[in-house]
Amino acid sequence: MKNISPSKQLIIELLKEKAVHKQDVYANTLSNFNIFKQKAEKLSQFLTQHITKADKRVEIIYTEKSGFEFHLKVAGDLIIFHMHTNVFDFDKSHSIWKNSYVKNNNFNAYCGLINVYNFLSDSFKYNRTNDVGYLIGRIFINKENHFFVEGKRQLSFLYNDFNNAVLSESSIDSIIDSIVLYALSFDLLTPPYDSMKEVSMQEILEVSQSNISTGKRLGFKFQADADDLL
């Protein structure tokens, strides 16, 4: 091009390559997130059909909150799926750079991100805004539908083949099942009596006003997990 400085030419080339590529990654992630929504809703219908026959008190509820967020209430757990609207690269120390798939084309490392959080469903039911939830998984998807999951237990070792794993409807089904199983695998265990036998008046007032933070790891222990979360 005439009368264009080298720096401006470089900007144009970067926009053509990197910015366009990121737009493609975003569009593909959003398309897959919509499939996650469909699969989660179908799972809620399937579980409701089978569980309500046994006990109608056990609720399985799918709720779409926005184009980038949906909730899946499974009994006492609320699982939140949230798609980030940005596209991410990885620090050079990340293991993704050891993959031949990424070494052959660095642009393959650009991924969209779906975060998955686990809350107690009562936190939302009773508007306990001080309660905490936990990030239990991060789903990364690139332009070519290659994906991997960072998370706990089966979430990480079942879905960590970024070189070869291509996201499909069946793999989305499997990921959602694994997430639900993970969330349901923990029971709240009461803490030792001696650690709770003294309580201040302020603490009692906070309990009455639902101002004390509650979460699966606050004052309790996970039954099935001894190590730290992400």
Split at pLDDT 50, 70, 90, the class of 113 is very high
What mean pLDDT, rounded, does the chain reach?
A: 87
Q: What is the pLDDT of residue 154?
A: 81
pLDDT at 121 > cutoff 80? yes
pLDDT band of residue 139 (cuts 50, 70, 90) is very high
Within a domain: residue 1?
Answer: no
pTM, two decimals, is 0.84
Q: In whole angstroms, how far apart are CA 176 and each of 54, 141, 182?
A: 23, 15, 10
The Cα 90–Cα 102 span in angstroms is 11
| pLDDT at residue number 212 | 55
Give the count of domains, the chain.
1
The whole-number pLDDT of residue 192 equals 77
Nearest CA to 140 out of 182, 99, 84 is that of 84
75 is a domain residue = yes
The single residue listed with the structure tokens 């030792």 is: 192
Give the pLDDT band of residue 126 (cuts 50, 70, 90). confident
What are the pLDDT digits (tens) for 19-45?
999 999 999 999 999 999 999 999 999
What mean pLDDT is predicted for residues 177-181? 96
227 located within any domain: no
Q: Is residue 176 part of a domain?
A: yes
Question: What is the residue range of 156's domain?
Answer: 6-222
pLDDT single digits (tens) 99-110: 999 999 999 999
Residue range 182-230, pLDDT digits in tens: 999 876 666 677 766 777 777 667 666 655 566 665 544 444 454 544 4
What pLDDT does residue 219 have? 41
Cα–Cα distance, 155 to 76 (Å, whole number): 21
Q: What is the pLDDT of residues 2-18, one digit of tens each?
A: 688 989 988 998 888 99
- 179 within 8 A of 139, measured Cβ to Cβ: no
At residue 148, the pLDDT reads 97
Q: Is residue 151 part of a domain?
A: yes
Q: For position 209, what pLDDT does the model report?
A: 63
Residue 229 within a domain: no
Report if residue 105 sits inside a domain: yes
Is 230 contained in some domain?
A: no
* Neighbouring C-beta atoms of residue 52, cutoff 10 Å: 13
Give the C-alpha separation, 18 to 209, whole Å.
Answer: 51
